[in-house]
């Protein structure tokens, strides 16, 4: 059988399946009410050709201005509802959270091995058990205990930036990985090319690209998942196979490391060891308990590493593009801290502008512009529009963070929007960055602490400016981002230099204390 015949048969079979699905779904609106407004769908394929292939959050935001705060589109009978305002997000995801806490069935989630991820699990008992455990380990009070780990690795980050500033992106990823892996597994990350860091980064990168609406037709056309990976157009399946190996290793390998440490008698104080001790009985761990431990531990790293690193890359980009705000934050640090020491987490309440700068980093470009998709678990009617059971519901966080009704001149970087008139810090916080309702990120307190610490220390120690080309001219930087579930700035060059010799000395002293074990 030739390749072309295989493809023709697959397309024919797919067409039959799609036609059946379409005919079955197109009469599935018993209310007689209209769907929310949106671009006009074509027969059978729906809005396949309207679905954005890049800048999804911005295109959906533009749709919001054209069609309204709630936008509907469909592909092959599958319904998608995009929320473009805080008002509607609160109404649906907070006030009606019972209806909007489930997750859509995305074939690529299982195919890539991400089906243990708390953020992607369907709403139910399995999700509740894991959510409860991860909340206990990363609630606000518990995160205070992790402050020494955060600060130790933040100081290591400064030393790395001082030694090899051109590798700043790798250093940021190393910092985040070191913090989370130490807290979760009591594991010390290798200085370079750490296997655990690589696994999470690569697996998250593949999944983030394939899971977004329009990422691959296989999400609305599951029959494609059964075709061999060597066929033309099956790149998604080859990526999924690679991802499956990584996610399996990422879930199992670190827990086995902790078990070995505990068995050898080495002191181990971390999330995983605490869970193992608590779940163990005279017969050891049950299979179900071990699954919970592996899932909770792995999601702590998988859920936080990629997003936190992306936030810090955005912070560096902002320090480069907005020197006035950067200098204002540095002036406050100099005034409050002086030049005899570096900032600590205990100084946070004394530096409102630095905190406002940090909050504006989170708002200006949210790391998950479309959050993580949800599914309507039952039919619903909202303001006269019908939202069918099974519809994929997308919170457009980028649109919310750039809503002129909430934020004046939203495209501008303005930390003062989070300050009161007297210069004190306001109660405003871009919490929508972490999702809403029952699906809000349980690791948000650790992310908040780790991002703030890194930003404050980098501001205190370094001046960040445009890099020069071989002719001494500034290399211009574009505000360009990847289009995936977790959105990173595209790589950019910059100059990172210590502000003063005194600042450099402080970094060296702290690094020496860490190496000597006296920090």
Q: Which residues are annotated as a binding site?
A: 441
Among residues 176, 5, 96, which one has the least CA distance to residue 379?
96
Gap between the Cα atoms of 519 and 515, Å rounded: 8
Binding residues for heme: 441
Neighbours of 410 (CB within 10 A): 18
Pairing of strands 462-466, 392-395: unpaired
From residue 388, alpha-carbon distances to 141, 191, 269, 286 in Å are: 40, 50, 47, 40
Give the N- to C-terminal CA distance of the chain in Å, as an integer: 68
Gap between the Cα atoms of 509 and 519, Å rounded: 10
Helix axes 235-264, 287-321, angle to 10 degrees: 110
Gap between the Cα atoms of 440 and 432, Å rounded: 8
The answer for 85, left when phi > 0, alpha when psi is -120 to 50, beta otherwise, is beta
Gap between the Cα atoms of 482 and 442, Å rounded: 25
What is the signed CA dihedral for 180, 320, 347, 434, rounded to 10 degrees? Answer: -50
506: which 2 tokens?
A: 């402080």
Helix (H), strand (E) at residue 360:
helix 352-364
167: which 2 tokens?
A: 């590798």
Among residues 314, 276, 259, which one has the least CA distance to residue 454?
314
From residue 100, alpha-carbon distances to 46, 374, 375, 519 in Å are: 23, 6, 6, 46
Neighbours of 167 (CB within 10 A): 14
- Residues 194-205 as b/e (b if ≥16 CB within 10 A, e otherwise) read bebbebbbebbb
Among residues 376, 296, 515, 395, which one has the least CA distance to residue 79?
376
Q: Find residue 484's DSSP bridge partners.
A: none
CB 46 within 8 Å of CB 73:
yes
């Amino acid at each position: 059988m030739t390749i072309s015949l295989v493809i023709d048969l697959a397309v024919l079979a797919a067409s039959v399946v799609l036609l059946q699905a379409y005919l079955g779904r197109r009469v599935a609106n018993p209310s007689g009410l209209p769907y929310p407004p949106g671009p006009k769908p074509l027969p059978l394929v729906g809005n396949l050709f309207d679905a954005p292939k890049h800048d999804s959050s911005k295109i959906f935001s533009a749709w919001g201005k054209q069609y309204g705060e709630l936008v509907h589109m469909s592909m092959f009978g599958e319904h998608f509802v995009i929320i473009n305002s805080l008002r509607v997000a609160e109404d649906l995801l907070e006030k009606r959270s019972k209806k909007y806490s489930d997750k859509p069935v995305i074939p690529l989630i299982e195919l890539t091995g991400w089906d243990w991820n708390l953020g992607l699990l369907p709403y139910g008992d399995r999700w509740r058990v894991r959510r409860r455990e991860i909340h206990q380990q990363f609630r606000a009070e518990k995160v205070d205990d992790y402050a020494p780990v955060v600060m130790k690795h933040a100081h290591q980050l400064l030393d790395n930036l001082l030694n090899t500033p051109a590798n700043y992106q790798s250093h940021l990823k190393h910092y985040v990985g070191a913090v989370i892996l130490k807290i979760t597994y009591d594991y010390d990350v290798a200085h370079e090319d750490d296997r655990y860091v690589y696994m999470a980064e690569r697996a998250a990168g593949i999944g983030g690209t394939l899971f977004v609406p329009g990422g691959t037709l296989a999400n609305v056309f599951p029959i494609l998942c059964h075709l061999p990976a060597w066929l033309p157009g099956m790149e998604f399946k080859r990526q999924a196979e690679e991802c499956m190996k990584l996610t399996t290793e990422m879930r199992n390998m670190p827990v086995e490391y902790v078990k070995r440490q505990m068995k050898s008698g080495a002191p181990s104080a971390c999330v995983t060891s605490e869970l193992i001790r608590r779940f163990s009985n005279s017969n050891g761990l049950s299979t179900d308990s071990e699954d919970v431990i592996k899932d909770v531990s792995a999601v702590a790293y998988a859920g936080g590493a990629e997003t936190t690193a992306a936030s810090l890359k955005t912070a560096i980009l902002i320090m480069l593009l907005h020197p006035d705000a950067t200098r204002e934050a540095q002036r406050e640090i100099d005034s409050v801290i002086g030049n005899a020491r570096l900032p600590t987490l205990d100084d946070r309440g004394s530096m409102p502008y630095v905190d406002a700068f940090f909050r504006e980093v989170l708002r200006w470009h949210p790391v998950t512009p479309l959050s993580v998709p949800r599914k309507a678990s039952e039919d619903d009617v909202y303001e006269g529009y019908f939202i069918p059971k099974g519809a994929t519901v997308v919170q457009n966080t980028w649109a919310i963070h750039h809503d002129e009704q909430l934020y004046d001149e939203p495209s501008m970087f303005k930390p003062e929007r989070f300050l009161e008139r007297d210069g004190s810090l306001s109660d405003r916080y871009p919490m929508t960055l972490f999702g809403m309702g029952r699906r809000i990120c349980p690791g948000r307190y650790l992310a908040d602490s780790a991002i703030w610490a890194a930003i404050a220390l980098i501001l205190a120690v370094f001046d960040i400016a445009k890099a020069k080309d071989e002719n001494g001219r500034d290399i211009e930087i574009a505000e360009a981002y990847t289009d995936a579930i977790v959105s990173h700035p595209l790589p950019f060059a910059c100059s990172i230099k210590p502000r003063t010799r005194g600042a450099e000395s402080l970094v060296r002293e702290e690094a020496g204390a860490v190496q000597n074990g006296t920090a």
